Structure 1
């Protein structure tokens, strides 16, 4: 069995185009650029259709890495999986998390499963396929491929499945119409939810969390169907799904572990604590000896019934600030308080990602052994 070693590095950024922290780590030898497999980031835009900080951040990273990899910037984007989540409301801090992978010998005496990562892409989608069964089916295939790439055979060892998915624009809607086809919605903003939801269901199917007989009309309607580990983020910069699977594998010699829990709602602090405990950590500043928090990855969603534990919220009724921004700020503040840092990855829009109004939360810890 192939043995790999996965590295995880969290790097603060001063803006979406700031690559200085990453380049400093590369120059110091801490990161081998040829081993970079994926970069997940939080950028400080609005997280909406017109949040071009995501594309800006990817362009800056590709331009900086191109000469180090002896590739064009375009080729870098094909080689490395980039997932930028817009919106750092409240105390959330802009940053990137860099995942590396390389061949390694498993040290004698190393016990248990360690962090592993796998990546895959779907084919490009037609605009009329977004938010529908075609996106679900193709995503499910890509999740299986990514699991194989990570050396993960047991679905219960998958603790986080991050997906970057497309959205609709007026041009894309018009292109579908010119072929005589209708899209799931004509609203660019609503299309983000459809794409996120279908992608999440595409994670749930191969992991056995739901049955495979999902209909187009189930997306954004059957909220009893969801994945406990899916995290999906939509953007304008692509027309396919980028799938990154994170879990623990016996084929990994990594110094890291990952665990997860599921928040039932936006104020579910015990779930965050449970996720921390799953990798041997406690509420900050109390951590276990020999273990250090690297990062937390979570989804945030405004409860669709307009209430949290019986009390009304106004996130869905605010015409000045979108509900996803409210949710990121609320969940981000809760997690930051328990983790002791605002540099955590909290993404808004959790359709079919955890129960309605809640969402998955995953924690990566570094082990000293």
Structure 2
């Protein structure tokens, strides 16, 4: 009798440029990846991560073209392709391919009671005047619930990571909204990224029960950072008008050796929560992850944010005072360096801009490992 369980696979692949799909195509050719089972692809591209970062759309187009040779266009369109711009410092451009397959009979009899579970969803198009406001919070919350249902996760406590790719405002979108009598939350396109990330993170928090709707209002979004979600990772982009959502958690309906856990960094150099998460996943370490164990780590996913206080552990930082380089770029490089020192490698999915994602200046981190 066929197994009714699913099994998740996670593949971390290098990228030589935003349009480089060579490692993905080779993995498909070897049979390491079944393109029909790809749920999502998260990528770090070497753009600036700001409004005019078109490396994200460039990477998505290249992935779509590469996969079109293997699966039909409708299936390609269903894959969540979340490109995060910015590999400042020594962060290495890469993609993480999340794949699901039907578990084999051997998998079904495996030793683990729960395993990594994956789900995805897309929301309707968001009207520009709703970006950064409660309407966006509610839309994302509904999308997260749909992604949880797709993953077969009923208990929000079993969710460890929610990735949301959200839209931003351009001057064209702002003018279009104003032409029919609406006003956008802000007219600064770069600031609109923060509002979109923040509202999306609050939506994740509502869906997971971390945040009560009664705590929220249009006025507190991107102002009251005491309200935050510890499992949301949101990233803005010009390349879409809706939201792409991927949920990762643990479920007894899934099989395989992969497991995920999460932690919340209190500030940009707070690596100890990540170390504790590693220990919970069966990798207790005192220093840097030893070379012999690094191969067990399938993915590291983190958020980075310049503290609004202007300080890190009572020492002044200048990330918010730099008029030449966005603070998100500074934060990615800084947090990426801190985490690389712990994990021992640089292809880390560190995304900048953590509004309402963890405490001010900190942020969530999720780790996926292959258990012994």
TM-score after normalising by structure 1: 0.96
Q: Is the 8 A contact 2:281 2:371 kept in 1?
A: no
Q: Distance in 2 between the 1:339 and 1:96 partners?
A: 17
Shift of 1:22: 0.5
Q: Secondary structure at the match of 2:83?
A: strand
Q: Which one of the candidate residues 334, 337, 340 is aligned to 1:333?
A: 337
Q: Distance in 1 between the 2:306 and 2:76 partners?
A: 32
CA 1:107–1:289 in structure 2 vs 1: closer, same or farther (change >3 Å)? farther
Q: Is the 8 A contact 2:112 2:256 kept in 1?
A: no
Q: Distance in 2 between the 1:200 and 1:167 partners?
A: 14
Q: Distance in 2 between the 1:192 and 1:290 partners?
A: 34
Shift of 1:294: 1.1
Shift of 1:109: 4.6
Q: Is the 8 A contact 2:269 2:335 kept in 1?
A: yes
Q: Equivalent residues in 2 for 1:107-122 (5 A)?
A: 107-122=108-123
The equivalent of 1:84 in structure 2 is 83
How many residues in Structure 1 have an aligned counterpart in Structure 2? 365
Shift of 1:288: 8.9
Q: Distance in 1 between the 2:293 and 2:245 partners?
A: 33
The equivalent of 1:353 in structure 2 is 357
Shift of 1:159: 0.7
Shift of 1:123: 0.8
Shift of 1:153: 1.6
Q: Secondary structure at the match of 2:207?
A: coil
1:3 aligns with 2:2: no
The equivalent of 1:268 in structure 2 is 270
Q: Distance in 1 between the 2:208 and 2:71 partners?
A: 35
The equivalent of 1:170 in structure 2 is 171
Shift of 1:296: 0.5
The equivalent of 2:99 in structure 1 is 100
1:161 aligns with 2:162: yes
The equivalent of 1:131 in structure 2 is 132
Cα deviation digits, residues 62-119 of structure 1 (max 9, x gap): 0011021133xxx455221000000000110000000011222452253321101000
Q: Which one of the candidate residues 289, 293, 296 is aligned to 2:297?
A: 293
Q: Equivalent residues in 2 for 1:294-313 (5 A)?
A: 294-313=298-317
1:58 aligns with 2:60: yes
Task: Show structure 2 runs of 5+ residues with no match.
Answer: none
The equivalent of 1:190 in structure 2 is 191
RMSD of aligned residue pairs (Cα, Å): 1.6
Q: Is the 8 A contact 1:25 1:31 kept in 2?
A: yes
TM-score after normalising by structure 2: 0.95
Cα deviation digits, residues 108-152 of structure 1 (max 9, x gap): 253321101000111101100000111100111111111111111
The equivalent of 1:17 in structure 2 is 19
Q: Distance in 1 between the 2:244 and 2:319 partners?
A: 29
Q: Distance in 2 between the 1:327 and 1:285 partners?
A: 23
Q: Secondary structure at the match of 2:254?
A: coil
The equivalent of 1:28 in structure 2 is 30
Shift of 1:309: 1.1
CA 1:100–1:171 in structure 2 vs 1: closer, same or farther (change >3 Å)? same
The equivalent of 1:321 in structure 2 is 325
Cα deviation digits, residues 7-26 of structure 1 (max 9, x gap): 10000010001000000000
Task: Show structure 1 runs of 5+ residues with no match.
Answer: none
Q: Is the 8 A contact 1:280 1:288 kept in 2?
A: no
CA 1:137–1:85 in structure 2 vs 1: closer, same or farther (change >3 Å)? same
Q: Secondary structure at the match of 1:131?
A: coil
Shift of 1:254: 2.6
